[in-house]
Amino acid sequence: MSSEVWAALIGGVSGVISAWVTSLLTTRGAAAASTRDDLRRAHDELRRSQYIAVQVGPSLLQFAETCLTASYDDGCYEGRPAGAGGEAEATVRVDPFKRDEIPGVDWQLLPAALMVDVLTFEQKHQAIGVELSDWHAYYDPPDHPEYFSDRQWLYVGLGIDAAELGTRLFKETGHKSSLPGAAELLEKLQARKSELDEERQAHARRVASYPPPPFPPSPPVAEPTGI
């Protein structure tokens, strides 16, 4: 093979290698740039999700505080029935959890399950209102003890849900610290729920011990008369 042919072959191979190396470096450079962009985007989304936790977590905690207060509401004010005519009436109002009023929040940045739990939380509150709205089931004036017992128990449970959800927001968005005040409030809520559970169980035992009411005797059946 002539030297000219060898030279042409070597030149061709060198060109191919050079092109391959250039393509490889370009691809790796693009991949590195893409990785940097992905990391930058992931960091930005994490920071924004942590901002959501900072905005929403304290609101949930404030809601839980109101629920704790409602769990002590027995319809009285300073020992006397709070309603007109000497009837018990709720003194603590639990306002809706208005997550739509929290500014600058992109909920889709949260983990899917966490996002759903935050967005549907107010439905739990509304369900309590529906459950307690059947006044005929609780009509026992003037104290309405069954109504307030159920109301206290339902709201302390909702307060626990709110405090736990706020805690999850901080944990699942990567905050190094926990939601301030959440652990202490959750402890108070759980202690109050234990008290209410004991009261309700004691009441159920008392009711079960009552003798059944006597039934009035059936009227005598008239004997058929012949025709």
Domain coverage including residue 104? 38-207
Residue 6's pLDDT is 37
Is 28 a domain residue?
no
Residue 70 placed within a domain: yes
How far CA 50 is from CA of 62, 96, 106, 138, in Å, comes to 19, 24, 11, 44
Supply the pLDDT for residue 17.
39
* pTM assigned to the model: 0.76
* Alpha-carbon gap, residue 128 to 51, rounded angstroms: 30
Residue 158 lies in a domain: yes
Q: Are 146 and 138 a contacting pair, CB within 8 Å?
A: yes
Q: Is residue 227 part of a domain?
A: no
- What pLDDT, on the 0 to 100 scale, is given for residue 186? 97
In a domain, 49, yes or no: yes
Give the residues of the chain that fall short of pLDDT 50.
5-17, 19-21, 24-25, 30-31, 33
pLDDT at 20: 42
So what's the pLDDT on residue 155? 98
